[in-house]
């Protein structure tokens, strides 16, 4: 899955040197606003007159799109350089936003694992949904609700219908691990390194187990994702 896609259409920005740059429509619009703001700042940053009042440099003609009434400093602005700088600023802001979002999601995944590990040793109970005993679906439902306030289905098959399927090699901590025998009959929470934490079966307790090579390994089906990557 490509994280945080920009679903807006793309536009092509052509610069005077012949270089072209593709931007999403939202980024292009923001770059236009940034360019206008930079022009305004440069246009108004002129020495004061003898009266102590700033010299007016932007007229109604400028607002109407005409060069008439522009201060000479504005006319000398390199439009291409200004546009390029605006694009760079917008791209930097976009990257910072994506990185901040990724950090937030990583924190959410860590919180899921923290809550899940607190239940280690709690007994399996058919139909149990916490806080002291669980079956497999009750355990995963409890963890997501307690950790993040996210409501997911009560049963393993209900949860399987809610998730985005991902390849096993792309599994991330906090994803769900599913096992099938005629349907989704078991679910655990992926910890990383091929291990999960789950409420295994009657007579056992919540524990850490490998997703392959264990009793469940023969029916391992795949990974499901609730949180974004």
Q: Which of 68-82, 108-122, 132-146, 209-223 has the lowest mean pLDDT?
A: 68-82
Strand partners, 37: none
User: Is residue 94 a part of any domain in this protein?
Assistant: yes
d(CA 127, CA 216): 19
Q: Number of folded domains in the chain?
A: 2
Q: Does pLDDT of 42 surpass 60?
A: no
User: Is residue 112 a part of any domain in this protein?
Assistant: no
Residue 206's pLDDT band, with cuts at 50, 70 and 90, is very high
Q: How many residues does the chain have?
A: 229
pTM of the model: 0.59
User: Is residue 63 a part of any domain in this protein?
Assistant: yes
Listed residues 105, 130, 164: the one ending a domain: 105
What mean pLDDT is predicted for residues 70-91? 58
Do 50 and 140 belong together in one domain?
Answer: no
Edge to edge, what strands does the sheet with 184-192 contain?
164-166, 220-225, 176-180, 184-192, 195-198, 207-210
Do 95 and 126 belong together in one domain?
Answer: no
User: Is residue 215 a part of any domain in this protein?
Assistant: yes
- The CA–CA distances, whole Å, from 52 to 9, 55, 72, 74 equal 48, 9, 20, 21
Do 97 and 148 belong together in one domain?
Answer: no
pLDDT tens, residue by residue, 7-33: 344 444 444 444 454 445 555 555 555
Listed residues 105, 129, 162: the one ending a domain: 105
Contact between 213 and 196 (Cβ < 8 Å): no
Do 131 and 161 belong together in one domain?
Answer: yes
Which residue range is the domain that position 46 belongs to?
10-105
Listed residues 105, 138, 162: the one ending a domain: 105
Q: Please name the residues in contact with 228: beta carbons below 8 A apart, sequence gap of 6 or more.
A: 1, 3, 4, 105
What mean pLDDT is predicted for residues 163-173? 96
Kind of pairing, strands 220-225 and 20-24?
A: unpaired
d(CA 14, CA 21): 7
CB atoms near residue 72 (< 10 Å): 8
User: Is residue 5 a part of any domain in this protein?
Assistant: no
* SS3 label, residue 50: coil
User: Is residue 2 a part of any domain in this protein?
Assistant: no
User: Is residue 4 a part of any domain in this protein?
Assistant: no
Do 146 and 206 belong together in one domain?
Answer: yes
* SS3 label, residue 139: helix
Kind of pairing, strands 207-210 and 164-166?
A: unpaired
Do 68 and 132 belong together in one domain?
Answer: no
pLDDT tens, residue by residue, 98-156: 565 778 889 999 999 999 999 999 999 999 999 999 999 999 999 999 999 999 999 99
Q: Does pLDDT of 226 surpass 70?
A: yes
Do 136 and 206 belong together in one domain?
Answer: yes
d(CA 126, CA 128): 5
Do 130 and 98 belong together in one domain?
Answer: no
């Amino acid at each position: 899955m490509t994280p945080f896609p920009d679903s807006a259409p793309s536009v092509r920005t052509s610069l005077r040197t012949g270089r072209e740059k593709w931007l999403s429509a939202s980024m292009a619009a923001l770059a236009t606003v940034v360019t206008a703001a930079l022009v305004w700042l440069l246009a108004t940053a002129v020495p004061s007159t003898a009266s102590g009042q700033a010299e007016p440099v932007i007229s109604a003609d400028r607002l109407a799109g005409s060069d008439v009434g522009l201060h000479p400093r504005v006319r000398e602005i390199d439009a291409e350089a200004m546009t390029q700088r605006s694009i760079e600023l917008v791209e930097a802001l976009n990257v910072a936003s994506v990185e901040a979002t990724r950090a937030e999601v990583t924190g959410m995944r860590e919180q899921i694992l923290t809550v899940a590990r607190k239940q280690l040793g709690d007994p399996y109970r058919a139909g149990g949904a916490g806080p002291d005993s669980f079956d497999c679906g009750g355990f995963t439902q409890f963890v997501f609700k307690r950790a993040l306030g996210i409501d997911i289905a009560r049963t393993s098959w209900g949860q399987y219908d809610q998730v985005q399927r991902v390849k096993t090699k792309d599994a991330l901590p906090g994803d769900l691990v599913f096992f099938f025998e005629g349907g989704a009959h078991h679910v655990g929470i992926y910890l990383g390194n091929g291990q999960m934490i789950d409420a295994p079966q009657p007579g056992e307790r919540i524990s850490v187990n490998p997703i392959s090579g264990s009793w469940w390994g023969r029916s391992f089906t795949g990974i499901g994702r609730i949180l974004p990557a």
